């Protein structure tokens, strides 16, 4: 077992500006135009059929997913987490067709040098269960994520979970979930 405490970091919409790119694809290729600030939880949960079809199409294209950019200053925040004495594990609900491009992406943007481990999600496993099980497995001391169902599941196990504030994750939270504007802000709060 590791001697350094483990923190779990999500990729999409935590480190990476995924939703914006995905929405551009959906609006370019579908009949309807959706607005970012109106992407409620129902969209994220796959309940809007027309939208979800295009999202799945986008997620089946590693070439497009690789074009997503990290948010500003996330690399520096990762570096501070590492210097702060934490072991950083990446836990993403991306499925198997995206695993290789995810590793390439982490390396291309310099994240790999601060990451100890990437936990690949088996495609058949439900996203929030996969993250909760991973948190349990590594005995995570903190987690950073933007998906409401995920943070609620992880908060049953992880002492503090930072929720990156997004239109799709509004709602009441258990006390050990801290809503923050960005991953960078979360790291600032966590390291004080």
Which residue in 146, 158, 162, 166 binds Mg ion (CB under 5 A)? 146
Q: What are the Cα distances from residue 77, in Å, to 72, 128, 150? A: 10, 24, 22
Question: Of 171 and 192, which CB lies nearer to Mg ion in the complex structure?
Answer: 171
Using CB under 5 A as the binding rule, whether residue 87 contacts Mg ion is answered as: no
CA 119 from centre of chain: 12
Q: Which residues contact 128 (CB under 8 A, 6 or more apart)?
A: 93, 147, 149, 150, 152, 153, 154
Which residue in 8, 12, 105, 161 binds Mg ion (CB under 5 A)? 12
Question: Of 2 and 36, which CB lies nearer to Mg ion in the complex structure?
Answer: 36
Sign of the torsion formed by the C-alpha atoms of 120, 130, 134 and 167: positive
Q: Which helix (H) or strand (E) holds 89?
A: strand 87-91
Does residue 119 contact residue 90 with C-beta atoms inside 8 Å?
yes
Question: Of 17 and 82, which CB lies nearer to Mg ion in the complex structure?
Answer: 17
Which residue in 6, 8, 9, 13 binds Mg ion (CB under 5 A)? 13
Residue with the CB atom nearest Mg ion in the bound state: 12
Which residue in 10, 55, 90, 131 binds Mg ion (CB under 5 A)? 10
Question: Of 10 and 87, which CB lies nearer to Mg ion in the complex structure?
Answer: 10
Q: Which residues bind Mg ion (CB under 5 A)?
A: 10, 12-13, 146
């Amino acid at each position: 077992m590791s001697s350094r405490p483990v923190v779990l970091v999500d990729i999409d919409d935590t480190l990476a500006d995924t939703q914006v790119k995905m929405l551009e694809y959906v609006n370019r290729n579908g009949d309807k135009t959706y607005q970012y600030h109106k992407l409620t939880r129902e969209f994220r949960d796959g309940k809007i059929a027309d939208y979800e079809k295009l999202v799945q199409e986008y997620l089946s294209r590693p070439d497009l997913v690789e074009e997503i950019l990290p948010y500003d200053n996330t690399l520096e925040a990762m570096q501070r987490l590492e210097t702060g004495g934490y072991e950083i594990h990446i836990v993403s609900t991306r499925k198997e067709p995206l695993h290789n491009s995810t590793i390439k992406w982490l390396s291309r943007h310099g994240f790999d040098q601060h990451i100890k481990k990437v936990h690949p999600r088996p495609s058949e496993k439900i996203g929030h269960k996969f993250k909760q099980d991973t948190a349990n497995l590594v005995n995570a001391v903190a987690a950073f994520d933007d998906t409401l169902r995920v943070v609620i599941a992880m908060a049953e196990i992880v002492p503090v979970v930072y929720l990156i504030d997004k239109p799709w994750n509004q709602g009441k939270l258990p006390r050990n979930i801290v809503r923050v504007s960005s991953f960078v802000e979360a790291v600032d709060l966590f390291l004080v």
